[in-house]
A = this chain, B = another copy of it.
């Protein structure tokens, strides 16, 4: 029944097209067996067969991600613009989607729970893929979080250094102070703090590869006496410090563990300390993409800003400053994606072409999400109730000179 069959395909395509309305995306089934008509499409999605079409109806996100990764779904045109258009269209949806994806999301959350061993597994799966892989497309310092572009034309290297500095200035680090870092990546921030600001840092991370790399860098730079890299979980942080810093770790903690993180902050810096969290956040609570958790970041949860504030509320910390840098993350991802595409043959030879496509989808999808506001990037500075004032106004963050004198006039004005 080729005619009946054809109209069934068209009906299915129409349903999908309707679900992503008004995204200007052309959808083509197989060898032009059926197509949707869209004026000025930003991209064309080629779906190989009716089986894939039915999967998309049933569990859109994971089916699309998996079929894009295995090469059965093809995209012509801009992948970033395609995903941006879909995210924008879907932002009108309420929190309640179809039943199956919701149940599957909860099941996955349980499977990938961030217990102590669970976190180690989850982090290992992503961050221990091999330092050589990340060196291909990250900046020279291997900073794998949102950069800070003083101007949009700054290079990625400049922007990552500017970010490290922006954080140190926000924290107003003083020589001789002690810092604990929760989730330190390949160690760039801890080393920057020690080198440029004369502080001592204890930096925690459960990624074995990252810690090994960071330790070697500290040694090479002669900073081992100032920076200690510890392969352990944030829940096991011990000791007293002036400052608590965490950049790009909160996304791996999960709201159910925010209490534990808050307790770690309180144990470390008490009421007299100050700190900074830098994390991907959202405007409203909701589960993180299931495909991303399946393929890229097991155990990840992106909190709404309001949820993240529970961490500070628990022990009566004051929020001093929040800065949203989502456009800077879109720009960062633009650089990463560009570098990734240029080295894709090397990546394919390290892994395979499915890995390349999955990672392209992750980088392009994240870039699209930051562009259209599905994801946000927050830097939050907080202080304990007995912490001396960190600044009088934020103006020194934007002046040429690194910081004001040790005991500026405004401190007298407040005592």
Contacts and interface: CB of A to CB of B under 8 A. Distances in A.
A262 B394 CA distance: 29
A385 B372 CA distance: 7
A175 interface: no
A318 B150 contact: no
A306 B382 CA distance: 14
Interface of A: 91, 148-153, 283-284, 304-306, 309-310, 312-313, 316-324, 326-327, 330-331, 371-373, 376, 378, 385, 389, 392-395, 397-399, 409-410, 413-414
A305 B308 CA distance: 11
A180 to B, nearest CB: 22
Contacts of A150: 393, 395
Contacts of A410: 151-152
A392 B152 contact: yes
B309 A320 contact: no
A327 B393 CA distance: 10
Nearest to A385: B373
Number of copies: 2
A157 B399 CA distance: 25
B304 A313 contact: yes
A318 B324 contact: yes
B316 A414 contact: no
A413 B91 contact: no
B323 A305 contact: no
Contacts of A148: 393
A309 B305 contact: yes
A376 B413 contact: no
Contact of A153 (B284, B305, B389, B413): B413
A392 B321 contact: no
Contact of A319 (B316, B324, B331): B324
A206 to B, nearest CB: 29
A226 B326 CA distance: 35
A386 to B, nearest CB: 8
B283 A316 contact: yes
B394 A151 contact: no
Contacts of A322: 319, 321-322
Nearest to A309: B306
A91 B152 contact: no
B319 A413 contact: no
A322 to B, nearest CB: 4
Closest 8 CB pairs between A and B?
A152-B413, A322-B322, A306-B309, A398-B398, A395-B398, A320-B324, A152-B410, A373-B385
Among A373, A393, A409, max chain B CB count under 10 A is at A393
A283 B312 contact: yes
B409 A152 contact: yes
Contacts of A399: 398
Contacts of A304: 313
Given A321-B323, A393-B398, A398-B398, 7 more contacts: A91-B385, A148-B393, A151-B392, A152-B392, A152-B414, A284-B316, A305-B309
A414 B306 contact: no
